[in-house]
Amino acid sequence: MSFAVTILGSSSAKPTATRHPSAQVVNIHEQHYLVDAGEGTQQQMARAGINPLKLRAVFISHLHGDHVYGLFPLLSTLGLYGRRTPLPIYAPAPLGEILTAHLRYFDSDLPYETEWHEVRTTEHTLLLENRTLEVWSIPLRHRIATAGYLFHEKTPPLNVDKFKIAKYGLTIAQIAAAKRGEAVTLDTGETIPNEELTYLPYRPRTYAYLSDTAYSAKAAELAAGADLMYHEATYAAAERKTARQRGHSTTEDAAKAALRAGAGRLIIGHYSSRYKDEQVLVDEARELFPETYPAVEGSTFMIEKRRPDSGADKNR
């Protein structure tokens, strides 16, 4: 089962000739979720080969234009593509008002419904849950109400050890019971504990998206154990005063957050346009957190399955 993050945009407010504003697609078990939607998002999805009709939901971190301007043309295009299923949109207020106005003036006859769900940016709340996934909000520290998002894979079903099946001569019904986490009673009357028969095939995986924010120890702690973390790094460490004034982070802030969270890997992005080469920012973050990688547009970060007793995956 796949768990991957595709970078569509890596620029801060001012786009450049080579960088688009913030947008990512998270693919969990072939369920696609758009996270932020800066200008040009649908073109970037096309370049990455991502079918917009596969989107299950949209998550917007905050209502600065470089994170939301690409949402409205995408809604129109989905109508042209013939989407029929409702599209949930999770975002802080007052996106509901903005969305209502857009639909009234531009998309009054969409063939599908848009469902806005308000994200309360001061709360760590479960927003979406299905059979394989939970998505939680993470309060962030920016100039306006802003939330990050934590994508947490649910624990996979237990596997039954094939050697134990043969050893105890388990029936189909007994195998099914073991998969449900139950102990199994043999025909002899002996009861075999579930942990003797089963094993967890892999550990649940987690992705933390920490968008525009000053350094927040609380946010890092809420993302504890993330296999992969995205954290904005708008500025180099020397610009820490500017970062604080504007509610943003430096490379050092992002690295500190990853260290505090115990993250497996760190992606940094949301670069200021003053930096023509993001490698200088990556190198700076790596001084504190070696497993730092740039948010290169079009790149995909896989979160591989790990054995329950293994450490965080370090392979990109």
CA dist 145 and 280 (Å) reads 30
Cα 1 to its chain centre, rounded Å, is 16
Contact 268, 239 (CB under 8 A): no
- Cβ proximity of 313 and 303 under 8 Å: yes
Residues designated as active site? 66
Distances (CA, A) of 90 to 85, 114, 115, 127: 16, 10, 8, 8
| Residue among 92, 217, 213 nearest 143 (CA) | 213
Distance from C-alpha of 194 to C-alpha of 179, rounded to nearest angstrom: 9
Helix pair angle (41-48, 71-81), 10° resolution? 60
